[in-house]
Structure 1
Amino acid sequence: MSLEELLPSNHGESRFYAIAIRSALVISTLLVGLAIPFFGLVMSLIGSFLTMLITLILPPACFLSILRAKVTPTQVTICIFIIAVGAICSAIGTYSALSKIIEKLNT
């Protein structure tokens, strides 16, 4: 969508360019997926690390950082618990993905 928004808004030609951009993105994704033998494992590694960071670790950390003086002890405990669960899940997922990547490299 970002690339399509850069195009001028000529009604006839913009539809053609939008289809061309989308097709080029799909084809490039296909080529990357075919070129990397264990693309799914790399995506698993990135997903396990970044998803947990963005969804479970950063929000409570930012909440505690922004509302430092107004946070109750119960809220601090809950936030620390959520951060700990996120860190543990991220570590397990990252370890699992890395071990599978290393296993694929050795075979």
Structure 2
Amino acid sequence: MTPVALSLEELLPDKTDSREARAYSLLIRTGLVLSTVGVAILIPFFGLVMAFIGAFLSMTVSLILPCMCYLRIIGDSATISQRLLCGFIIMVGLLCAFGGTYSSVAEIVRSYLEM
């Protein structure tokens, strides 16, 4: 939520009084937390959906894409060991992404069928 809060705080006019700036910051962050709690209460599978998004995107962004971009940038100058290590990291990332995505989707389906 920090990036969202910082983006919203940048839209506010520049305040020289630090107390007023802190008050606005506190209001923005409190509103974001309350809205997140409201969504979590109103949407029954919010935690499971967040697990699905996290399982898929975190592995993609933290393991798979950096290695693929690295290999793409250095191109043919990559050594065999660099290619093998990046390939291994990509495979581990894919396995974790598929495993996490499968388990979260299976849990969503199980919870839905229990309703």
TM range, normalised to the smaller chain?
A: over 0.9
TM superposition score normalised by structure 1: 0.94
2:30 equivalent in structure 1: 23
2:3 equivalent in structure 1: none
Supply the RMSD in Å over aligned alpha carbons: 1.1
* Structure 1 residue 9: Cα displacement: 2.1
**Cα distance in 2 between the residues matched to 1:68 and 1:78:** 15
2:44 equivalent in structure 1: 37
Aligned residues: 107
> Quick one: which amino acid aligns to residue 8 of structure 2?
L
> Quick one: which amino acid aligns to residue 13 of structure 2?
P
Q: Deviations over 1:40-69 (max 9, x none)?
A: 111110000000001110111001000012
Which of 72, 79, 89 is the aligned partner of 2:86?
A: 79
1:3 equivalent in structure 2: 8
Structure 1 gaps, min length 5: none
Which of 2, 14, 20 is the aligned partner of 1:13?
A: 20
Which of 99, 102, 111 is the aligned partner of 1:92?
A: 99
**Cα distance in 1 between the residues matched to 2:38 and 2:69:** 38
**Cα distance in 1 between the residues matched to 2:74 and 2:92:** 21
TM superposition score normalised by structure 2: 0.87
* Structure 1 residue 75: Cα displacement: 0.7
* Structure 1 residue 90: Cα displacement: 0.4
Structure 2 gaps, min length 5: 1-5
